[in-house]
Chains A and B, each alone.
Chain A
Amino acid sequence: MTTPLLSVEGFSLLAGDAVLLDRLTFAVGAGEVLAVTGAAGSGKSLLLKALAGLAPPDLTCDGTVRTVGRRILVTADGTLFPHRTLGAQFVELLHHHLGLDEHMALRRAVEALEWFRMPAAARRLSLYPHELSEAQRWRAVLALAVAAQPAVLLADAPAAALDPTQRAWMLDRLAGWARENGAALLIAGRAEEGVAGPADRRLLLEADRLRPAPPPPGLAADGDVNREPPPAGAPALSVRDLRVAFRLGRTWTGEDRWLTVVDGVGFDLAEGDTLALVGESGSGKSVLARALLRLVPPSGGQVAWLGRDLAGAPPDALRRARRDLQMLFPDPAAALDPGMTVGAQMAELLETLRPDIPAADRGPRIADALREVGLHEAVAALHPAALDAAEAAHAGLARALLPEPRLLVCDEPAATLAGADRAAFLARLMEVRRRRRLALVYATQDASDALRVGRRALVLLLGRIVEAADSAALVEGARHPLTRAMLAVAQGAKGGGSGGEFGSGLPGDPPSALAPPSGCALRLRCPLARDHCAQEPPALEGAATSHRIACHYWETNSQGAS
């Protein structure tokens, strides 16, 4: 057993009298990957900065931190310098650390970028950071850290803002690099950010102390997937061939250019039923959710609520429908008007949607709604700025429940929450939904969330459905490569073991609606793609009446699926 490259003994961090980190002890050896998870504000970033010797000067460090060799910290935003080309940043760093000349440094840079599969790596070196996409920027940031050949690499929530399949792939490459080169890699981040995926060991930072992370329950555990029986009755919400497109302007030949975001989506939803819309960024799930409520004007197709089409409904009919259809927004704090008290906004909603309720009854109703979601009724007198993210999310839920809706459309309603807050909010949402027999449309990028919430799930890619099935069927045998990758990543991110061939996500970036690939939209990322995939887009066809897939090879490819 060699000595560990990073060893920490009894390390404490104090701000005056307050203890921020309390006697942490751990070690990371060569080629080892350690994940430190923790809730927001648990001090992960601070720990990493302190390990890199960059703790804020007003804090006192105690205990010993020993590192062997060069250590490099990748900060949470992974910022690059905005006024220098990628190549110049590589040259500066590699000259500083390794004393390489420009020619050698650029060669090393291309190797590092290619390790992270930067497309056309050599040409990207002359670009500035703002000319790269978010995913490419993260490739560059990680490549920059890797190229300097650190013995200890500390990464703070790397690629946290990227899609799960993309992030899992990048973290897997990063861990692969550390194992291949005998470096010690420490990844910190929230559990939702998938940092535990490629790790050999997992620690949890909680209440200032480190302890081994508890083994998470597997995704396939029964309580974790929605296995409700399909509700009886005619569909209440019925969506047919819904299209949303935005006009981009005109080409020089005078043709209109359109950006199609939702392309021919259809589904039915009975009262009390739950449906998850799963997709990565750019899949159109959020626009679809808004188009259901006509917050975004659909450009074609039909959305019918109780048999009445909302697409062409006059304002009065639409207002009546809005009483039944309410929405939860991805950033609940931003969905509250900062200039009005929470109560005033709730009263406004009652006033417009429930004119049958006399003004004197509004106050008690608002208090009831706030209590129902677990908030104090005094929250009604507050301005949104006084609420924290969790309170704002609950206030948003209370507002949505106020007109006694029958369908709740949720667009990543817990996106701003983490850890216990997130779990508490989702539990509250499900409890309210069960008690009120609400129908739910739940848009999310987290496949495990989707299966937990939705009885049925639609997997979206570039505005089209690629797989539609019951959650129970998906967990037993998802057929589309994208679904399988998303599920595997969601499972792997929790540290629940390897996710099979898709466990490390998908390479490349999600397709862009501005320049969609020919044929199947996934083919550039799909490890199972064949020549035919480029020729025509696959149609949605059935494995069973309730399970439909848009993949040319779903029958042959899914042989290996468990």
Chain B
Amino acid sequence: MDRTRGTAATPKSLWPESPWRAAGRRLVERPSASVGLVVLITLLFCVPTAPLLGNGPLERALAAGQGSLSFALLGGLLGAAAGLAWGIAATALGPRAERSLMGLAERLAGLPLALALPLAAGLAGRGPGVLAPAAALTAAPFIALVTRAELRALLRREFLAAAQAAGVPPGRILRRHLIPNAALPLAAAAWTALPRALAAESFAGLLGLGLPGSVPSWGAALAAAVRAGDPAALAAPALLLALSLWALHAVGDGLRAAAASGETPRTAGGGRP
């Protein structure tokens, strides 16, 4: 085997892929993640156009997805932002703030947070302005915990010290080294807010405490079918909800895998850790 390449003329491969492309490849190489992506794209295409397709039970269920999916996006984005801010604050504000913020996240993660939605809807009204923060709460503690762990691991990595030794000012280290390297793991963490928000809203809708009746949603459709005792009417929304949740999870797992294998250490075996 060739062991002299380090001092020899040509590197191993002249046109290797960039890290982003490699991560994308790892994502679509996972069968479940690529199926999940296809499902999500199909849903995103079909749900807005469902009223044009016809008026069967499937089309109506698809149309009901408008409310659910848009709310999942709204609540998910809010939850992701809150969770990321929470985790970043815990990392940036020093050990004391870190202990209390992460202790809080740890405790909240052990509570049935999805119940916040029906409670908020019942006591403060069912507008998206009330429900979206509640949905964000169901996801934020988990994202905060993952964010803090990822950032801590990232801050210990040697290339940051190397950038410092290269005289790169702190602001630029943040912009050019920290953020690009944190982006994928944090995106994978933030993604988990989407399925959580979708599940939480559907749960509340099933209890009759989700989005207002004027907004169609899968949870409300499920509730109506259960009230009518009509399994046939229930099938389509239940199937679509299960499919979306599964696809969101599958893509989330794929993202995590894509982010994680990017940092496998490459040492020539047996080196001191």
Instruction: Indicate if A touches B (C-beta under 8 A).
Output: yes
Tell me what chain B mostly uses at the interface: helix, strand, loop, or mixed: loop
B56 at the interface (CB under 8 A from A): no
Contacts known (A387-B11, A417-B268); A338 close to B262, Cβ less than 8 A? yes
**Docked-complex contact B268 and A389, CB < 8 angstroms:** yes
Name the contact of A161 in the complex, choosing from B17, B167, B169, B273 (C-beta under 8 A). Answer: B273
Kindly state the separation between the CA atoms of A418 and B270 in the bound complex, as whole angstroms. Answer: 9
| A415 with B272: CB separation less than 8 A | yes
Cβ-based interface call for A80 (8 A)? no
Q: What is the minimal beta-carbon distance from B14 to any residue of chain A, in angstroms?
A: 6
Query: Which of the listed residues A315, A334, A345 has the most CB atoms from chain B within 10 Å of its own CB?
Result: A334
The residue from B12, B95, B169 contacting A388, defined by CB atoms under 8 A apart: B12
**B97 shortest CB reach to chain A, Å:** 15
B223-273 residues with Cβ-Cβ distance < 8 A to A are 262-263, 265-273
Compute how far the CA of A331 lies from the CA of B158 in the bound complex, rounded to whole angstroms: 8
Query: Are A383 and B16 touching (Cβ within 8 A)?
Result: yes
Interchain CB contact (< 8 A) of A319 among B3, B162, B167: B167
User: In angstroms, how far is the closest chain B Cβ from the Cβ of A38?
Assistant: 11
Rounded to whole angstroms, the CA-CA distance of A374 and B10 in the bound complex is 10
* A319 to B271 CA separation, bound complex (whole angstroms): 32
In the complex, chain A residues 389-438 whose Cβ is within 8 Å of any chain B Cβ:
389-394, 396, 399, 412, 415-421, 424-425, 428
- Residue in B closest to A389 when the chains form the complex, CB atoms: B268
Write the chain B residue with the least CB distance to A321.
B167
Contact A40 B269 (CB under 8 A): yes
A interface footprint on B1-12 (CB within 8 Å = 1, 0 otherwise): 101111111111
In the complex, are the beta carbons of A326 and B165 less than 8 A apart?
A: yes
Q: How many residue pairs at the A-B interface have CB separations less than 8 Å? A: 164
Within 8 A of A (CB), among B169-211: 169, 172, 176-177, 180-181
> Using Cβ atoms and an 8 Å threshold, which residues of chain A touch B4?
420, 424
Question: A421 to B267, Cβ gap below 8 A?
Answer: no
Smallest CB separation, A430 vs chain B (Å) = 14
Partner of A348, one of B3, B14, B176, B270: B176
Tell whether A285 is near chain B: CB-to-CB under 8 Å.
Answer: no
Distance, CA A374 to CA B165, complexed state (A): 23
B19 CB–A CB distance under 8 Å: yes
**8 Å CB contact of B268 from A338, A378, A421:** A421
Complex CA gap A193/B95 in Å reads 39
Q: Are A352 and B169 touching (Cβ within 8 A)?
A: yes
Q: Are A190 and B270 in contact (CB under 8 A)?
A: yes
For A353, list chain B residues within 8 Å (CB): 166-167
Contact A421 to B270, CB < 8 A, known contacts A349-B167, A352-B169:
no
> Are the CB atoms of A378 and B19 closer together than 8 Å?
no
User: Among the listed B3, B13, B18, B270, which residue makes an inter-chain contact with A76, where contact means beta carbons less than 8 Å apart?
Assistant: B270
Q: Which residues of B contact A161 (CB under 8 A)?
A: 272-273
Nearest B-chain residue to A315, judged by Cβ = B169
Kindly state the interface size class of chain A when it binds its partner: 35 or more
B58 at the interface (CB under 8 A from A): no
**Complex: how many Å from CA A450 to CA B141?**
50
Asked if residues A382 and B11 are in contact (CB atoms below 8 Å), the reply is yes
Asked whether any CB of chain B lies closer than 8 Å to the CB of A295, the reply is yes
Mark A258-289 against chain B: 1 for CB-CB distance below 8 A, else 0: 00000000000000000000000000000000
Across the interface, do B16 and A386 meet the contact criterion of CB distance under 8 Å?
A: yes
Q: Does B155 reach chain A (CB closer than 8 Å)?
A: no
Within the complex, what minimum Cβ distance (angstroms) separates B157 from chain A? 6
Interface membership of A54, Cβ < 8 A: no
A315 to B166, CA, bound (A): 13
CB proximity to B under 8 Å, residues A179-212:
190, 193
A379 to B12, CA, bound (A): 9
Q: Are A336 and B162 in contact (CB under 8 A)?
A: yes
Is B161 a contact partner of A329 (Cβ separation < 8 A)? yes
Q: Determine if B168 is an interface residue (Cβ-Cβ < 8 Å).
A: yes
Among B1, B6, B162, B163, which residue has its beta carbon within 8 angstroms of that of A374? B6
Q: Which residues of A contact B180 (CB under 8 A)?
A: 339-340
Contacts of A388 in B (CB 8 A): 5-6, 12, 266, 268
User: B22 at the A/B interface (Cβ < 8 Å)?
Assistant: yes
Q: In this assembly, does A41 line the interface, its C-beta being within 8 Å of a C-beta of chain B?
A: yes
B49 at the interface (CB under 8 A from A): no
**Of A319, A329, A333, A417, the contact of B266 (CB 8 Å cutoff):** A333
CA distance A424 to B181 in the complex (A): 32
Tell me whether B100 is interfacial, beta carbon within 8 Å.
Answer: no
In the complex, are the beta carbons of B267 and A333 less than 8 A apart?
yes
A551 in the interface (beta carbon within 8 A): no
Point out the residues of chain B lying under 8 angstroms from A390, CB to CB. Answer: 3, 5-7, 268
CB <8 Å contact, B271 and A416: yes
B1 to A, closest residue via Cβ: A41
Tell me which residues from 333 to 364 in chain A have a Cβ below 8 Å from any Cβ of chain B.
333-340, 345, 348-349, 352-353
Separation of A389 and B12 alpha carbons in the complex (Å): 12
**Complex Cα–Cα for A498 and B163 (A):** 45
Cβ-based interface call for B70 (8 A): no
CB distance from B32 to the nearest CB of A (A): 25
**Given the complex of chains A and B, what is the CA–CA distance between A348 and B159 in angstroms?**
13
| Chain B residues numbered 1-54 whose CB sits less than 8 Å from any CB in chain A | 1, 3-14, 16-19, 22
A-B contacts, 29 listed (Cβ < 8 Å) = A40-B269, A76-B270, A315-B169, A327-B165, A329-B162, A334-B158, A336-B159, A338-B262, A338-B263, A348-B166, A348-B176, A349-B166, A349-B168, A352-B169, A352-B172, A353-B166, A374-B7, A382-B11, A383-B16, A385-B262, A386-B11, A386-B13, A387-B266, A391-B11, A412-B272, A416-B271, A418-B270, A424-B6, A428-B7
Beyond A353-B166, A387-B12, 10 additional contacts (C-beta under 8 Å) are: A40-B270, A329-B162, A330-B158, A339-B19, A345-B166, A348-B168, A388-B12, A389-B267, A396-B162, A425-B6
Nearest 9 pairs of A and B residues by beta carbon = A390-B6, A386-B16, A349-B166, A416-B271, A389-B268, A335-B162, A374-B7, A334-B158, A352-B167
Q: Chain B residues in contact with chain A, CB under 8 A?
A: 1, 3-14, 16-19, 22, 95, 157-159, 161-169, 172, 176-177, 180-181, 262-263, 265-273
